[in-house]
Amino acid sequence: MKRCLAALAALLIAPAAHAQTAIPGALDRAFGAMGGTDGPGMSMSLQLLMIMGLLTILPSLILMMTSFTRILVVLAILRQAIGLQQSPPNQVLIGLSLFLSLFVMAPTLERVNQTAIAPYSADQINAQQAIANAGVEFHAFMIRQTRERDLAMFADIAHSPRFATPADVPFSILLPAFVTSELKTAFQIGFMLFLPFLVIDLVVSSVLMSLGMMMMSPMVVSMPFKLLLFVMVDGWSLLMGSLAASFT
């Protein structure tokens, strides 16, 4: 887990740190190649401005390219199904989703470290090659979790030709298809979570109606029973294990 956190942190801060220490280094060569010139490319101030701009959206991109979305949505649905409004609080759900995502993404992050971060730190490849190598590993993870129907839908919208292999799918099509698939899977898991708690709500509501206790809220009465059921079946362990296994 520590190595995964270090790899993710290095992936986020490596371009900025390298830009501060080497003006004609890998970033200059990368920007020069992108601009089609042999000179130093963009000025240092413009490079730093672009890097800081990218760093503002990079965390969001990484979160949307990992298992974070599915896990967070399922946990939010579970809290709603039990009937708890602020327990666990949002900070706990986000932290739990983040660290469970790091566990799920550990093999991918290890490969990113081996193929992108470590060679870039050793000056064996430039920044452009490091980003490309890291993108290959995230692409492989995302394509495994994306439904073919969602890929075909966005490919048709973009009027793209048929792809010969999954590796040929561009990120412009894979990203929205992956997020759509993740949301669909999360709602399917959430539906299965909702059913037993819904049965408890129906039973409690029917009993209160038959006893003529109209003024008592069924949600207040059913909540202890739902919490008891969730604890008795060791719900957190089952849920965390099932979420992690759903990405294999």
Residue range 167-194, pLDDT digits in tens? 888 888 889 999 999 999 999 999 998 8
pLDDT category at 9 given cuts 50, 70, 90 is very low
Q: Is residue 42 part of a domain?
A: no
Three-state DSSP state, 126: coil
Q: How confident is the model over 222-241, as pLDDT tens digits?
A: 888 888 888 888 888 888 88
pLDDT at 36: 41
Q: Is residue 167 part of a domain?
A: yes
d(CA 141, CA 181): 13
Residue 167 gets which letter from DSSP?
Answer: G
**Above pLDDT 70, what percent of the chain?**
81
Number of domains in the chain: 1
Q: Is residue 207 part of a domain?
A: yes
Q: Is residue 54 part of a domain?
A: no
Q: Is residue 44 part of a domain?
A: no
Which tokens sit at 62?
A: 């990484």
- Range among 54-63, 94-103, 119-128, 211-220 rated most confident: 94-103
pTM for the predicted model, two decimal places: 0.73
Q: Is residue 10 part of a domain?
A: no
CA distances from 123 to 19, 47, 130 (A): 13, 19, 10
Q: Is residue 85 part of a domain?
A: yes
Q: Is residue 211 part of a domain?
A: yes
Name the nearest CA neighbour of 173 among 146, 191, 193. Answer: 146
For 154-246, list the strands marked E by DSSP: none
- Parent domain of 110: 59-245
pLDDT at 47: 66
Average pLDDT score over residue span 58-84: 86
